[in-house]
Structure 1
Amino acid sequence: MNAWTPLRRAGLPTVATAAAVALLTACGASGPAEDTSDGTGGESAEGYPMTVEHQMGETEVPAPPERVLPLDAAFVDSTLALGGNVVGFTTFSEDVTELPDYLRNSEWNTGTADDAEPVGLLWDLDPELVAATEPDLILSAEVRHGDGYGQFTEIAPTVMSETTGAIWKDNLRLTAQALNAEDRAEELLTEYEERAAAIGEEIVESNGGEAPTVSVARFAGDEEGVRLYTPTSYVGVILEDVGLEPGPGVDTGTDEIITYHSQERLLDLDADHVFVATYDDGGADGVQESKEEYQSSPLWSELEGEITEVDDGYWISGVGLIAAHETLDDIAEIFGVDAQR
């Protein structure tokens, strides 16, 4: 049974009101974490209970979270990067049963997700599965699950950012607040930024002292055309951290994370290096057919830049620190420079 009504990819997920709360309780939701004080008024762990300020207000986290339920890839990434224990996650496809390989196998994953189970699609959560994870902290973004915030707080302390994507560094910091790991988050971000800059310096040196231009295109089955990512996107931030220049067709003056380009505007994708990502729709939304149609266009053959297929999972959808490091690995390999590990 599912009391949380989806709006599919076209919009945001919504949550039924009182019925959903009743269902969650009936399905075994444990509610907010129990008092774990020592009985004398003292705290059971340093820093707790703590109050976290976030997009939806303030949330008290009474004890160190041991079972974290991140409902967006950004917070799965952040939790694992900070050494937390992930007990559930959302997916983009119903046939996905485990976290992506890059998350599970990355050296930057210092957390655990051995017992993590999917709790539904990103836009269509299953309340029974959410309850079954028995979380003591829920993480998400208002843009993803803001309509369900009140219901989530009936299950466990819930913290939400405004959105995901380009603010992934701030989302890591927000996760760190709830996990009492703020110093560690700053260490991780410094390590990442220094690594990105070092890779960029080698790329510039190998390119005769000039930063090459790059663009990131994505085929996702959109009627509007192929997506071209701007500097205000998640991957745009990574490329900027490396010090690479946007291609001439990339809109650097917009607040939008993507612009759409029809077949007639394919030359807007051109740059010294064109990175191409493809959303895996499982064959359901015609993404591959659309990609083949665009790539068979005469204008595609006129692109002068070096075209490289990249992993959509972490280049586009990962939106976190671990995914950013995996993207840096690819960038170093593509340009033939040291990965600076």
Structure 2
Amino acid sequence: MNKKISVLLFSIIATIAILAACGNTEEKKVNSASAEKETATSETRVIEHVLGTTTIKGTPKKIVTLYQGATDTLLEFGVKPIGVVESWAEQPIYEYLRSDLEGVTIVGLETQPNLEEIAALKPDLIIASQVRHEEIYGQLSQIAPTVVSASVDDIYETTSLIGQAIGQEDQAGKLLSDWESRVADFKEKIATNENYPFSVAVTNYRADHARIYVQGFAGSILQELGFKEPKNLQGQNLEIVKLNDKETISQMNADIIFQFMEDDAAVKKTYKEWSEHPLYLSLDAVKNEQVFTVNEIVWNLAGGIQAANLMLDDLYTHFKLEK
């Protein structure tokens, strides 16, 4: 009998010990998860940018983007902003982003954001640009932590800045690494063309003048892909060349011209007049039937890493290269 009691007591004690151990394990798991969550929420990062330094606590969830490239790029991190500025065309939001931005608040224009509307959203992060928002940086910073890019069309700067600001540096690195892999693939494939590297002019017609985008979004990407600047503009470190009269058309001269323009009567009139001018007809691209119209939003107005990949898709298709 005593032996049976001893066995029973031992079993009870063992069971209690096991239950206690399990309880401690579960408690540790809960405490560990809580600690991780608290760390993510309370983590503080200091972000250096062109207008100074910005301290960001935790992971921003309510983000306002104040230039097109930031809006485009933030979505590639799987993050939907709560407020964006109106698009330059296809207002209020570019069609290629519309489904991803359904329900977001429009907070004014890129050149003139509405500070009251931004403040009403109570954001925990604002992404701005020096070229557009330097004068209101102080006011933006009073609303929420604000990080600033130097330009509006540098995909490397915008992607890296956003990655730092939202704590996704690894994703930023992956996005840029994937882009660089595509660039390398394109350059390897197009190099088999005996006429490569081509000189390229990216042109835009307005109601009263024309422009050549030597740098900017499209120009910088084309140069990264190994293309040369227009023949008469090489080595001059130019960004945008404004052509005020038809006598300057020769500056467009290149092996290939990629052009875009608004669907506007005055713009079409300008293009017709310029494209019938003898100087235009003497351009290499014109004589060789190498003038092509491209999507202005993708090639000029969007400015983010999604648009960069769409532009590269266009170039793969144009040169009949396998993606």
TM-score, L = length of structure 2: 0.79
SS in 2 for 1:228: strand
Deviation at 1:39, TM superposition (A): 11
Mean Cα deviation higher: 171-180 or 266-275: 266-275
Q: What CA distance in whole angstroms lies between the structure 2 residues aligned with 1:39 and 1:153?
A: 31
The reply on whether 1:141 has 2:125 as its aligned counterpart is no
Partner of 2:78: 83
| Letter of the 2:44 counterpart | P
Post-superposition CA distance 1:132-179 (Å, at most 9, x none): 4332210011210111111112221111122223x3311210111001
The reply on whether 1:200 has 2:183 as its aligned counterpart is no
Partner of 1:316: 300
- Structure 2 counterpart of 1:297, from 273, 277, 285: 277
Are 2:89 and 2:297, in contact at CA under 8 Å, matched by a contact in 1? no
Post-superposition CA distance 1:195-254 (Å, at most 9, x none): 12212222221x226322221111244x5x321122x42212211222222231234322
TM-score, L = length of structure 1: 0.75
- Structure 2 counterpart of 1:178, from 161, 165, 180: 165
Q: What CA distance in whole angstroms lies between the structure 2 residues aligned with 1:333 and 1:125?
A: 37
Partner of 2:176: 189
What is the aligned-residue identity percentage?
28
Partner of 2:257: 274
Partner of 2:116: 128
Are 1:88 and 1:116, in contact at CA under 8 Å, matched by a contact in 2? yes
Instruction: Looking at secondary structure, tell me which structure has more helix per residue.
Output: 2
Partner of 1:227: 211
Aligned length in residues: 286
Post-superposition CA distance 1:12-68 (Å, at most 9, x none): xxxxxxxxxxxxxxxxxxxxxxxxxx999x944178221111122221111211121
SS in 2 for 1:163: coil
The reply on whether 1:259 has 2:259 as its aligned counterpart is no
Deviation at 1:283, TM superposition (A): 4.5
Q: What CA distance in whole angstroms lies between the structure 2 residues aligned with 1:132 and 1:95?
A: 26
Q: What CA distance in whole angstroms lies between the structure 1 residues aligned with 2:97 and 2:280?
A: 33
Are 2:228 and 2:234, in contact at CA under 8 Å, matched by a contact in 1? no
If asked which structure has higher relative contact order (CA below 8 Å, sep 6+), I would say 1
Moved over 6 A (4+): none
The equivalences for 1:143-162 within 5 A come to: 143-162=131-150
| Letter of the 2:239 counterpart | I
Q: What CA distance in whole angstroms lies between the structure 1 residues aligned with 2:312 and 2:276?
A: 30
Are 2:205 and 2:260, in contact at CA under 8 Å, matched by a contact in 1? yes
Going from structure 1 to structure 2, the CA distance change for 1:95 and 1:79 (only over 3 Å counts) comes to: closer
The reply on whether 1:242 has 2:225 as its aligned counterpart is yes
The equivalences for 1:205-216 within 5 A come to: 205=192, 207-208=193-194, 210-216=196-202
SS in 1 for 2:316: helix
Q: What CA distance in whole angstroms lies between the structure 1 residues aligned with 2:90 and 2:97?
A: 18
SS in 1 for 2:55: strand
| Letter of the 1:146 counterpart | E
Unpaired runs of 5+ in structure 2? 1-32
Partner of 1:56: 51
Unpaired runs of 5+ in structure 1? 1-37, 106-111
Are 1:77 and 1:321, in contact at CA under 8 Å, matched by a contact in 2? yes
Q: What CA distance in whole angstroms lies between the structure 2 residues aligned with 1:143 and 1:90?
A: 15
SS in 1 for 2:47: strand
Q: What CA distance in whole angstroms lies between the structure 2 residues aligned with 1:123 and 1:161?
A: 15
Q: What CA distance in whole angstroms lies between the structure 2 residues aligned with 1:39 and 1:56?
A: 36
Mark the structure with the bigger radius of gyration. Answer: 2
Are 2:88 and 2:301, in contact at CA under 8 Å, matched by a contact in 1? no
| Letter of the 1:258 counterpart | I
Q: What CA distance in whole angstroms lies between the structure 2 residues aligned with 1:94 and 1:227?
A: 18
The reply on whether 1:67 has 2:47 as its aligned counterpart is no
